[in-house]
Structure 1
Amino acid sequence: MMIAEVSERFDISQDTLRYYERIGLIPHVNRNKSGVRDYREEDCKWVEFAKCMRSAGLPIEVLIEYVGLFQQGNETAEARKELLIEQRKELIVKLEDMKKTLERLDYKIARYEQAVTEAEKN
């Protein structure tokens, strides 16, 4: 699959795909005889993983570390698991913060709706 197809499939720019590959977030992508990137399904799984984790706010450095550990083989399984557990804990904290912010926004919106309704009555 060509880079344009992968870009469209995952709604991620070609520049971002190249960047992710360059920094090691996506392991080496094979190239055809002409030197053009030829994404295989395994590469697409890495793209999907990177996009998902980045969308959740995981730092690029952590994801690069994870990919590096993965490439070292099964002996790093425990380290990879611990890294993901730590990121999960941090994500839970972020979710709680976001929940509080959402509740505050809901409260503020309700107050404005009440004020507008009262102003319309007068």
Structure 2
Amino acid sequence: LDRLPELVEQAASAGLTVEVEGKPPRLSPGTDLAAFRIVQEALTNVVRHSGSRHARVRLERDGGTLLLRVDDDGPATGADAGGSGNGLAGMRERAAALGGTIEAGPRPDGGFRVLAALPIDVKKAAT
């Protein structure tokens, strides 16, 4: 996640403004890579499937869990704008491999949210 500024720059080159809130805790390399890839895919989905040109990324530690949230304000565009592709499945697989979870879907107030909960200490999550 120390490369998060690079993702923000890439998103900007695609016309997306990204606000980042919070700083990641120290993570194992596997958890760090999974978190990075989840943010990367979530921002790619905003560019591809949302009419919004603005996204928010929030990083927060909750005990032994990294909560990672990516929101956009929508509206969804295109026929496949509900998560029917492989991107969400890949995010879920990455999270599950670490003992974490992904929730993704439309927000009640419009837009779309991806919320990942990843164990910070993978060894503790496996026991």
Q: TM-score range by the shorter chain?
A: 0.3 to 0.5
Pair member with larger Rg = 1
Question: Which structure has more RCO (C-alpha within 8 Å, separation ≥ 6)?
Answer: 2
Structure with the bigger percentage of helix: 1
Task: Name the TM-score, length of structure 2 as normaliser.
Answer: 0.33
Task: Name the TM-score, length of structure 1 as normaliser.
Answer: 0.34
